[in-house]
Structure 1
Amino acid sequence: MMASPMSRCRSALFLPASNARAIVKARGLPCDAVVLDLEDSVAPEAKAAARDAARAALHDGGFGPRLLVVRINAVDGEWAEDDLAALATAPPDAVLLPKVDGVATLRMARERLGPNGPAVWAMIETARGIMALPEIASAAAELRLGALVAGTNDLALDLRCRPGPDRAPLLPALAQIVAAARAGRMLALDGVLNVFDDPDRLAAECRQGADWGFDGKSLIHPAQIDAANAAFGPTEAEVGRARAIVAAFASPGTEGRGAIRLNGEMVERLHLMEAERVLALVE
């Protein structure tokens, strides 16, 4: 399955592929995507075992409608070749590539996974990755790139910036990630919040990500799922407006019209397209 702008991915929970108990628990959590991690959360001596555990989880299934994604190790490192070979024969919904700096990384992964293999997702977490976003967006369809994921921790380190709770120094880069995702018809996922015992800060950061256009958020703890689902899902008011727009354009006399009046404002076909997207996510 290749994620598309019509996919719902409000919450993407990362967990170590080596943690069997976490994988079992994830099958019943209300997140929209489960990301089995082979990279940062797995010690070097446990890489092979984690890869085997991820393959076993893919074989066993039971994740229901959740997108099942595996984050591999860095493509230029010693474990990536084995990761890609394993996932080409036991495909998840998507393979998440860390530290994508350009199209060459994506093209190499696509070749290893095969043209009919799983979709790829790209983590944008370096300055070079930000600078390469236009070419990445242009190649998205060719390479079956389904999502851009902001790696805010590594990105802050690479940019040498000091983001506080408002993440102001990162916002220009985050806006570029969203713009590239929209240009390439991909999902855009906001970065993680390492603090998981501050619900007010989590709620504020989720709202900020949604306001800036992200489809959802990367998470590191199950306690963060509800806040992400609430912030990135359509509000009751948005759903009501979407239904009103669809109904108005379906009423007699609106055939072929590019704009109509609705509740004192002009509504165009582009608003109809967005309304249909909102209702598709709800359904």
Structure 2
Amino acid sequence: MTDIRPRRSVLYMPGSNARALEKAREIAADALILDLEDAVAPDAKGLAREQVCAAVKAGGYGRRELVIRTNGIDTPWFDADLAAATEAAPNAILIPKVSSPEALIEIGHRLTGLWAKPETQIWAMIETPLAILDCEKIARAARDPSTRLACFILGTNDLAKETRARFVPGRAPMLPWLTTAILAARAHGIDVIDGVYNDLKDEAGFRAECEQARDLGFDGKTLIHPNQVAVANGIFAPEETELARARAIISAFDEPGNADKGAIQLDGRMVERLHAEMAKRVVALAEAIAA
């Protein structure tokens, strides 16, 4: 099975706040998005770029995945952001408001021209109506290695702004968009991370939205405060009963008498070989988290 990298908790950190960048080295998030875009005022863009790239180069973040979010492609800061981020060599560069596969192809070409390290990935924000309508085409760009596309991040706040949809418990207005992004990502082998939850005081609501995102198939959730990390880490990790069941399924299919069977009975339930493949992913994720 392909190596799995946990992305249960993906925390935004403002690039203009040097203290926050330092504190992030001790936060138990799976990934950190060091932000040059929404969290940074226009007059602080240059400072944020310098601080973020210096922090990435300095390291000290352990096994946390480091992602630099640039400003938008059509902004005056993008060229400098992309060049500086490429030189800093984070795990990934997050591009806002990607609405077409052509944008990813162009960025891929630019990274080649900037001599980007081969392991630097591209993540794409899905946060416009056009991105939802063309989601499969954008995800399909991952088939072209030059795009480096590895992950979708849902920008639910921007989607709400552009569509005038309301935030309601259960997110009924957004469910078609969320599932569209998940289907597109899975069809082309990339990860997909849910949008943020805005109400920091509503822990019950946040927990419910994390559980919904997990059940829909998201790999994790983007976060706006360190206090949200523990809940996300717990909800997007396999539960002990789920892990025990997965190991039992794998063990059952590994028995010599079941080697050529497509389906078996286990504890009174019919289990197919596809369930064994699903079980292997559960175990692999648990092991990656433990590591």
Bin of the TM-score, shorter chain as denominator length: over 0.9
Shift of 1:117: 5.7
Aligned counterparts, 1:95-106, within 5 A? 95-106=93-104
Matched to 2:49, the amino acid is R
Aligned residues: 280
Give me the TM-score of the superposition, normalised by structure 1.
0.95
Q: For residue 60 of structure 1, report the CA deviation from its aligned partner.
A: 0.8
1:5 CA displacement: 7.9
1:267 pairs with one of 268, 271, 277? 271
Partner of 2:122: 120
Instruction: Quote the Cα distance in structure 2 between the aligned partners of 1:210 and 1:5.
Output: 20
What secondary structure does 2:63 align onto? Answer: coil
TM-fit CA distance, 1:257: 2.4
Kindly indicate whether the alpha-carbon contact (under 8 Å) linking 2:33 and 2:69 is maintained by their aligned counterparts in 1: yes
Indicate yes or no: 2:251 matched with 1:247: yes
Deviation of the 1:110 alpha carbon: 1.3
1:3-82 matches, within 5 Å, as: 6-82=4-80
List runs of 5+ in structure 2 lacking aligned partners. none
Shift in Å at residue 276 of structure 1?
0.9
Residue 8 of structure 1: SS of its match in structure 2?
Answer: coil
Extract structure 1 runs of 4+ deviating beyond 6 A.
none
What's the counterpart of residue 184 of structure 1? 188
Secondary structure at the counterpart of residue 258 of structure 2: coil
Instruction: Summarize deviations over 1:246-268 as a string: whole Å, max 9, x none.
Output: 11111222223222221122222
Please tell me the residue identity of whatever aligns with 1:104: E
Structure 1 unpaired stretches of 5+: none
Identity of paired residues, percent?
49
**Normalised by the size of structure 2, how large is the TM-score?**
0.93
Matching residue of 1:157: 161
Residue 148 of structure 1 corresponds to 152
What amino acid sits opposite 1:135 in the alignment? K
SS of the residue corresponding to residue 253 of structure 1 reads helix
Q: Is the 8 A contact 2:104 2:141 kept in 1?
A: no
The 10-residue stretch of structure 1 (91-100 or 159-168) with the greater mean CA deviation from structure 2: 159-168
Cα distance between partner residues in 2 of 1:149 and 1:10: 12
Task: Name the SS for the 1:99 alignment partner.
Answer: coil
Q: Counterpart of 1:97 in structure 2: which amino acid? A: I
> Which whole-Å CA distance do the structure 2 matches of 1:8 and 1:254 have between them?
31
